[in-house]
Amino acid sequence: MERSYPAYYRDFHCLASACPDSCCKEWTVDIDPDAAQRYRALSGPLGDRLRQVLEDTDSGTVMAIENGRCPMWRRDGLCQIQAELGHDALCQVCREYPRLRHEYGSFEELGLELSCPEAARLILTSPVLPPVTETVPDENIPSNDPQALEILLQSRKVLLELLENEQYSLPQILAITLLYSYDVQLALNTKQLPPLDPAQALASCEKYAAKADIQALFDYFKTLEILTDEWSSILEAGPQPPRWTSAHRALARYFINRYWLQSVWDYEPAIRIKLTAAACLMVSAIKGDPIKTAQLFSKEIENDPDNVEAILDDAYASPALTDAFLLGLLLR
């Protein structure tokens, strides 16, 4: 089986106590069954403490936060479990974060989650290089629709090449990509992928674009679950005039790489491009460092499955996510 990952993937190292944020605060940590069983069987003060803070919910065992942080997070910013028992004793989520793994039958892709500050720096500042590929033992992963997957791979290549085309601004590229996603959506059923003519697609987008106010997009994000006071304050403050940098192109590349192929499950790449466009628009309209802003956006949205699911579900229904509205924000 083939495995691929970004060229910067192996460069990631946890900043531990030097991290400007922490994956040990504000999030309720899911504990896998094996780790929960081990933790509850531990002797001594650490075992006693773990038995106090582990909670069973309808969806599984969690490490409930106390005073906004994981109870295993020490004052020096390190994990008490890792300090006493070693890295391998961590639960699966803590052991793997921020590493991602997506399996597509005959191949798998690895990546990093944008919600980690150090991962965000690598994702948004690293040079654009071909992914690293290697062969690993076949794990007999069930195959997806091979024809649909091939169409998604071909079309993703088209989109990633378009992102490197300096002839078009990023808002124009996102608009073209949204229109193209419907061609791909149709191709997943017909099994015939049409070529992309960016200039012609952009002209069509200009016709479809409606008058739009980005405040409506901020208002939509207020309806989603909010994790931090910082994000709540940003949404209440409202948008700044959008500004577009190389980091925003890298942000679009990250979303396309992470989500486009997942359309093999439902044949709906358009809803994932709407997620991509909304993310880029929001980050471009928030004052401050785009890398820090993108990391916070990911922490609030990507690391809350309910929020991602809500955006995908609302992609056709919410006024702030309609084609005409998004095209209006991108092109007007």
pLDDT band at 22 (very low <50, low <70, confident <90, very high): confident
Tokens of 134: 């290697």
Tokens of 136: 């690993």
Phi, psi of 73 (to 5 degrees): -80, 115
pLDDT band at 1 (very low <50, low <70, confident <90, very high): confident
Q: How far apart are CA 188 and CA 269, in angstroms?
A: 10
Q: How far apart are CA 272 and CA 278, in angstroms?
A: 10
Which tens digit of pLDDT belongs to each residue from 149-169? Answer: 999 999 999 999 999 999 999
Q: 3-state class of 145 per DSSP?
A: coil
Query: Which among 96, 76, 99 has a CA at the least distance from the CA of 87?
Result: 96
Q: How far apart are CA 66 and CA 189, in angstroms?
A: 49
Please check the confidence at residue 140 and state whether its pLDDT lies above 70. no
Instruction: Please give the mean pLDDT across all residues of the chain.
Output: 93
Query: Which among 244, 257, 218, 241 has a CA at the least distance from the CA of 123?
Result: 257
Please check the confidence at residue 36 and state whether its pLDDT lies above 70. yes
Q: Which residues contact 102 (CB under 8 A, 6 or more apart)?
A: 108, 109, 110, 111, 258, 261, 262
CB count, 10 Å around CB of 313? 11
Query: Which among 303, 310, 291, 330 has a CA at the least distance from the CA of 212?
Result: 330
Q: How far apart are CA 284 and CA 292, in angstroms?
A: 12
Q: What is the pLDDT of residue 28?
A: 77
CB count, 10 Å around CB of 218? 20
Between 247 and 140, the higher pLDDT residue = 247
Which tens digit of pLDDT belongs to each residue from 168-225? Answer: 999 999 999 999 999 999 999 999 999 999 999 999 999 999 999 999 999 999 999 9
Q: How far apart are CA 25 and CA 116, in angstroms?
A: 12
DSSP code of residue 40: H
The answer to whether the CB of 35 falls within 8 A of the CB of 91 is: yes
Question: What value does the mean pLDDT take over residues 122-129?
Answer: 97
Q: How far apart are CA 33 and CA 144, in angstroms?
A: 28
Range list of H helices, 191-303 = 198-208, 215-222, 229-237, 246-259, 269-284, 290-300
Query: Which among 309, 250, 261 has a CA at the least distance from the CA of 101?
Result: 261
pLDDT band at 143 (very low <50, low <70, confident <90, very high): low
Q: Which of 87-101, 120-134, 273-287 has the weakest average pLDDT?
A: 87-101
Question: What value does the mean pLDDT take over residues 306-318?
Answer: 97
Q: How far apart are CA 156 and CA 144, in angstroms?
A: 17
Query: Which among 317, 330, 331, 315 has a CA at the least distance from the CA of 182?
Result: 315
CA dihedral 21, 26, 28, 30 (to 10 degrees): -10
Which tens digit of pLDDT belongs to each residue from 258-309? Answer: 999 999 999 999 999 999 999 999 999 999 999 999 999 999 999 999 999 9
Q: How far apart are CA 23 and CA 139, in angstroms?
A: 30
DSSP code of residue 14: -
The answer to whether the CB of 27 falls within 8 A of the CB of 304 is: no
CB count, 10 Å around CB of 290? 22
Phi, psi of 263 (to 5 degrees): -65, -10
Q: What is the pLDDT of residue 142?
A: 67
